[in-house]
Amino acid sequence: MTTYLTAMAIAVAVRDLCIHCASKGRPIEGLYLDSVVAQTMRDTAALLPCPDDVFQGIAGAIVAQNHCTATEAFEQVLRMLDTSRSPGYSRWRHGGWYVHGVRYPSGACGCISSNYPDKKWRIVCDRRRQDLNAPGDVTFRSREEAARAEQVLALQAWVEMVRSPADEGREHP
């Protein structure tokens, strides 16, 4: 847990609570912010580890890609790092599943599938795999296990991109 990430999570949580109160016509003066801050700190501690420079780099890239506000980008990054949320899925046109909330530096989304001869779950665009059943071919017991692994793989790609001295047009999954 980093100070910047925690501060941004708290700011978003307080903003969301104020918006909720305003939408219900309730005054915000009576809010018990200490409990909001304490809960948000606990929630933030459970996120995937993400250094501040990577968090800011991911948010900056999302702003550029989506033309959204910095706050909206921070919310997306917080969701990307949240392992407590169950992954959401949509059918992929090639028979696998898009994984909601998994995003790569190129803008690509997560995709997993068990449409292989051995029917094992795999990350579709896993750079580690050269061939099926060869070294680097990582398989998973379930769709959720594959989605969680892709969440970590995507974060590793972001770390590489943010920390590379110059992104010389190399391809990211």
pTM over 0.75: yes
Residues forming beta bridges with residue 111, ordered by sequence position: 98
Does the pLDDT value for residue 150 go beyond 50? yes
pLDDT, average across residues 124-149: 92
For residue 64, give Cα distances in angstroms to 14, 51, 67, 69, 132.
Answer: 25, 20, 5, 9, 36
Please tell me the chain's helix, strand, coil percentages from 3-state DSSP, rounded to the nearest 5: 45, 10, 40
Q: Which residue has the higher pLDDT, 41 or 120?
A: 120
CA dist 111 and 48 (Å) reads 19
Residue 8 dihedral angles phi and psi, to the nearest 5°: -65, -40
Residues forming beta bridges with residue 98, ordered by sequence position: 90, 111
Does the pLDDT value for residue 139 go beyond 60? yes
pLDDT digits over 13-50, tens only? 888 888 888 899 988 887 888 888 888 888 888 888 88
The pLDDT score that the predictor gives to residue 172 is 45
pLDDT, average across residues 123-143: 91
